[in-house]
Amino acid sequence: MVANLSAPELRHLAAELARRGLLQVFVTRYANQRRVWEQTLERLPVAGRIYSSTLGLRQPPAGIGVHHIVEAGIVFDFAAAIVARFRSLGSPVQYLGARLHQSTARAIGRTAAHLASRAPIIVAGSGAALPAFEIAAKRGALRVLNYPSAHHRFQQKFFAAAAKRQPEFAGLSEHDDIPLHLHEQLDQECALADLILTGSRFARNSFVAEGIPGAKVLAIPYGVDLSTFTPGTDAVSSRKFRITYVGRISSRKGIGYLLHAYQRFCRPDTELHLVGSIVGDGACLRPYANLFVHSPHMPQFKLLDIYRQTDVFVFPSLLEGLGLVVLEAMACGCPVIVSANGPCDVVRDGIDGLVVPAESSDALESALARLYGDRVLRASMAKAARIGAEAHSWNAYAAGAIDALLAVPSHQSAH
């Protein structure tokens, strides 16, 4: 059984399990299964356009059949989707959206618990695993926890220290992403898990730092859709040198350090494009408004053109599980500049791009200047980035994860 709120890695893992005949049930939030009412909704003039560009995009990956899917928390999920359309109104709306997502996760967890007796292996996402794990532990079923970020308590300490080093961007803080009342639940999920899957060595090391035995934490880099994200065919033009960031516009993503670096680096023929939802009201960004172009959150299919028009992709996250957007950009042939705290697992420094220390505006500025001034190096890295991304397909991720969970000795789960 796989129980998942929204992690793409679990969707692809479930699909590969289904193709191998190993998947019994996939518990998830709303999924567009092409039912009669969904097809009818798509044909409506206004509502259909909204649905098709939001919830309608949530079609199960190839391999997962309708008979595998059990939906949970649909009311909370739909409410969260509606609230997300108003995220630009600031912190109160974003806070409500986060709470609705947590309610959806709890509903998925409760539904998974009702079905837990049917499967010898339970794979669940963090925040939605505890009820099923508690039942599975009583009968010795294998429990695999997918944890797409660094350990929650490690994050809490890390960001508290980081906020003191750059207080001017406190308004972009995402400290409510893992509220304190969820820490105990996540502690229990980690304790009950026989295997914890993370996306990078940095994330894995955060668990070890918090006392989790290293033997039960595994780092497997995530994947990318290599058929969707492909290089463009446009020749080099006289347009501006475009630097792009994709992700939430928040302090934890290193946006403050990027703005400081770009402020010093900025040239008349360069442009910084920030793509993503702004955390909070964005007031601390106003002094830098003349430095960047902002686009709101975009679905994956709209990002393709953004990546293809990018000369250098920058992802200076202070702390990351991995950062799927890095692989997406690489697959589109973008040289990348990433921090060492997570994304560097899929980037060969000096080949696909440049790896810089987290929280260093100086290092970011130097990396931007180096790639700006060396067109030959950029072209070489663009080709290498695509080749590097090809080693990280979703099929490769799913195969590695399945090998890992099937390799766990059966006696290990009998606590």
pLDDT tens digits, residue range 318-356?
Answer: 999 999 999 999 999 999 999 999 888 999 999 999 999
- The per-residue pLDDT for 25 is 96
* 415 pLDDT higher than 50: no
Question: In the structure encoding, which two tokens stand for residue 410, read together?
Answer: 């059966």
pLDDT digits (tens, 9 = 90+) for 279-312: 887 889 999 999 999 998 887 888 999 999 999 9
- Angstrom distances, CA of residue 223 to CA of 204, 246, 252, 325: 17, 17, 22, 10
The CATH superfamily holding the domain 241-392 is Glycogen Phosphorylase B; (3.40.50.2000)
- The per-residue pLDDT for 174 is 65
Q: Which residues contact 257 (CB under 8 A, 6 or more apart)?
A: 166, 316, 359, 360, 361, 364
In angstroms, the CA 346 to CA 188 distance is 30
Fold of 2-223+395-413: Rossmann fold (3.40.50)
- Angstrom distances, CA of residue 25 to CA of 35, 111, 124, 135, 349: 19, 11, 12, 16, 41
Q: What SS3 state is found at 113? A: helix
Q: Domain segments of the chain: what residues?
A: 2-223+395-413, 241-392
Question: In the structure encoding, which two tokens stand for residue 183, read together?
Answer: 């820490």
pLDDT digits (tens, 9 = 90+) for 14-58: 999 999 999 999 999 999 999 999 999 999 998 898 888 889 989
pLDDT digits (tens, 9 = 90+) for 74-100: 999 999 988 887 776 767 887 888 889
- Quote the percentage of the chain above a pLDDT of 90: 75
**DSSP category for residue 235:** P
Question: In the structure encoding, which two tokens stand for residue 179, read together?
Answer: 């509220």
Would the CA dihedral through 15, 18, 19, 22 be positive or negative?
Answer: positive
DSSP string, 138-187: HTT-EEEEE--SS-HHHHHHHHHHHHHH-GGGGGG--TTSS-HHHHHHHH
- Order of strands across the sheet with 336-339? 292-295, 270-275, 241-246, 312-315, 336-339, 353-356
Higher-confidence residue of 174 and 253: namely 253
